[in-house]
Amino acid sequence: MGKHYIGHLSYDGSKYYGWQKQPELPSIQETIFNAIRELYPLGRIDVKATSRTDKGVHALAQVVKFLAPRKEDPDELRGNLNAALPKAIQFTQLERINKSFKISYLPLFKEYLYFFCPHNSEQNYSFVGHNNKEKSLNIEIMKEGAELFTGIHSFKNFQYKSDSLGGFEREIYLSRIVKAHEIFPEAFKIEDPIYIFHIKGKGFLKQMVRLIMGSLIHLGDGTVTCEDIKNALEGEEMGPRVGYIAPGSGLFLYHIEFPEVAVNDLKRHVVDKKLFLEQYPQFELWSEESGNKSFSLDIKD
């Protein structure tokens, strides 16, 4: 009988067509499935993720649950699995979990980060979704606009072809723009011209974060106003979509919060908060192989 495992997965999605398996296109899910199959030629395998990231989108701490044919020591399995996976896809944590643990329904909230450069810069930064080389964005008005998304709103005008059965209303707990140094002081200097749009909510519609980011960029370059964003958040049938779908290259799934559960009569988190920060020194996730050395999240001294 197989055993279920759960853990944090970090990946550079640049060369992949999103999480979900697709015919004849490389995906994160299929790559993990193939790596497990390499370790276990026989037996049933199943791989699920809490969030389905799009083409080109990255993850710092995706939560993945998978079924492997045999019971193994989680740390040993993680080492073997990482060795079988490309350097751009690595597990930073792994442990056994009960098969009834529902990773799709249990999360309390999810956090995303979008990296961008608001000022005129001649440098090319990998993993920066927007680098405005023509004119600078008004970062202060963008910060003001980001706060408008906090709270419960209809995001009908900030999604693309979402399943509407559950409606378009979502609650956003945090929406802000900060310097990258504030979240990653080990990786960025305070003077680095990189900013992060940081958003946290219970759930998100399809391409919602990228459309919000596109709206904030349009706000920063003067294409739209804060009033336009407020009107779009009213969710009226004819309301305008005030932004565009910002490039996936700047978007990272940052953190997924699960409630504490009983494990061996103790209540605890089955996946530790942001453990990947401790694991980065142990492998080169953003490797020179993919040409991303110029923007490394490796936090070695």
Question: What's residue 5's pLDDT?
Answer: 93
Q: Is the residue at 212 inside a domain?
A: yes
Q: How far apart are the first and last CA of the chain?
A: 44
Please tell me whether residues 122 and 210 are part of one structural domain: yes
Please tell me whether residues 128 and 247 are part of one structural domain: yes
Q: Is the residue at 48 inside a domain?
A: yes
Task: Give the length of the chain.
Answer: 301
pLDDT below 50 — which residues of the chain?
1, 281-301
Identify which of 155, 295, 291, 292 has the alpha carbon closest to the alpha carbon of residue 232. 155
Backbone angles phi, psi at 285, to 5 degrees: -65, -45
CATH of residue 180's domain is 3.30.70.660
Please tell me whether residues 186 and 154 are part of one structural domain: yes
Please tell me whether residues 56 and 87 are part of one structural domain: yes
Q: Is the residue at 297 inside a domain?
A: no
Question: What's residue 294's pLDDT?
Answer: 38
Please tell me whether residues 82 and 137 are part of one structural domain: no
Token pair listed for 172: 């956003």
Which pLDDT tens digit goes with each residue over 117-148?
888 666 666 677 776 666 789 999 999 999 99
Please tell me whether residues 115 and 212 are part of one structural domain: yes
Q: Is the residue at 236 inside a domain?
A: yes
Question: What's residue 289's pLDDT?
Answer: 45
Please tell me whether residues 191 and 151 are part of one structural domain: yes
Domain C-terminal end among 224, 251, 278: 251
Burial code (b: 16+ CB inside 10 Å, e: under 16) for 148-187 equals bbbeebbbbbbbeebeeeeebebebeebebebbbeebeeb
Please tell me whether residues 113 and 243 are part of one structural domain: yes
For residues 245 and 248, give the distance between their C-alpha atoms in angstroms, rounded to a whole number.
Answer: 8
Question: What's residue 2's pLDDT?
Answer: 62
| Count: domains in the chain | 2
3-state secondary structure of 151: strand
Domain C-terminal end among 231, 251, 271: 251
DSSP assignment of 94-150 equals -EE--TT--TTT--SEEEEEEEEE-S--S---TT-SEE--SS---HHHHHHHHHTT-
Question: What's residue 297's pLDDT?
Answer: 44
Q: Is the residue at 298 inside a domain?
A: no
Q: Is the residue at 295 inside a domain?
A: no
- Domain residue limits at 148: 109-251
Please tell me whether residues 246 and 135 are part of one structural domain: yes
For residues 279 and 275, give the distance between their C-alpha atoms in angstroms, rounded to a whole number.
Answer: 7
Please tell me whether residues 167 and 56 are part of one structural domain: no
Q: Is the residue at 163 inside a domain?
A: yes
3-state secondary structure of 53: coil
Identify which of 151, 145, 156, 152 has the alpha carbon closest to the alpha carbon of residue 235. 156
For residues 9 and 93, give the distance between their C-alpha atoms in angstroms, rounded to a whole number.
Answer: 7
Which pLDDT tens digit goes with each residue over 158-167?
988 877 777 8
Question: What's residue 261's pLDDT?
Answer: 75
- The CA distances from residue 230 to 44, 194, 222, 227, 283, in Å, are 50, 27, 15, 5, 44
Q: Is the residue at 300 inside a domain?
A: no
Please tell me whether residues 97 and 186 are part of one structural domain: no
3-state secondary structure of 9: strand
